[in-house]
């Protein structure tokens, strides 16, 4: 019908999942919301075998301690034309934005992969400090004639 508009809302079940821990065990918790009521269902990681927590339930990463306010330092480097930007292993984050050309990226000594203009890539970790989380691989971004790209990194001091 011409000139009519509107919307239809259908009430459907909504399932959300979270992996939790209860001491030494890891399990899957499904939050099922239907008709305004939320029902919790705990299963083993296979998603079907019932599971009953045996200790205090918490997010698995709660046990990881990290420095409350670790100091980070950042770098930024723009490469135009031929040349390499090398990021050694141990960064907390690496981001690449390709403005022009067809630069390459090699991760951890792998075969370089050609990237197209407009590509944006990021690698990062959540926890540093005492947890010691960092990117284990180094990166080599290779510029060729006509390349224009930007690489930013963060590292824990």
Q: What's the pLDDT tens digit per position in 87-97?
A: 999 899 999 99
* Residue 54 CB partners (closer than 8 Å, separation 6+): 22, 23, 25
The Cα–Cα gap between 63 and 86 comes to: 34
> Percent of the chain, pLDDT > 90?
40
The Cα–Cα gap between 54 and 108 comes to: 41
The Cα–Cα gap between 140 and 77 comes to: 13
C-alpha to C-alpha distances, 54 to 6, 21, 132, nearest whole angstrom: 50, 10, 29
Report the SS3 class of residue 133.
coil
pTM score, two decimals? 0.57
Task: With a cut of 70, say whether residue 131 has pLDDT above it.
Answer: no
- Per DSSP, what are the bridge partners of residue 15? 32
Report the SS3 class of residue 62.
helix
The Cα–Cα gap between 143 and 81 comes to: 6
Beta strands 93-100 and 120-124, pairing class: antiparallel
**pLDDT, average across residues 113-138:** 84
pLDDT reported for residue 1: 47
DSSP assignment letter at 90: -
User: With contact defined as beta carbons under 8 Å apart, do 149 and 143 qualify?
Assistant: yes
**pLDDT, average across residues 126-151:** 85
User: With contact defined as beta carbons under 8 Å apart, do 152 and 75 qualify?
Assistant: yes
Q: How many CB atoms lie within 10 A of CB 9?
A: 5
Q: Which residue has the higher pLDDT, 143 or 156?
A: 143
- Per DSSP, what are the bridge partners of residue 148? 80, 100
**pLDDT, average across residues 18-37:** 79
């Amino acid at each position: 019908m011409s000139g009519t508009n509107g919307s239809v809302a259908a009430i459907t079940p909504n399932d959300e999942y979270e992996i939790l821990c209860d001491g030494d065990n890891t399990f899957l918790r499904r939050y099922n919301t239907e008709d305004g009521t939320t029902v919790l269902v705990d299963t083993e990681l296979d998603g079907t075998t019932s599971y009953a927590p045996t200790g205090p339930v918490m997010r698995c990463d709660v046990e990881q301690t990290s420095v409350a306010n670790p100091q980070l330092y950042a770098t930024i480097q723009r490469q135009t034309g031929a040349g390499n930007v090398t990021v050694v292993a141990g960064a907390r984050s690496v981001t690449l934005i390709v403005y022009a050309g067809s630069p390459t990226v090699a991760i951890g000594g792998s075969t370089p992969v050609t990237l197209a203009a407009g590509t944006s890539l990021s690698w990062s970790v959540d926890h540093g400090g005492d947890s010691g989380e960092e990117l284990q691989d180094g990166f080599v971004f290779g510029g060729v004639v006509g390349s224009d790209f930007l690489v930013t990194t963060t590292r824990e001091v």
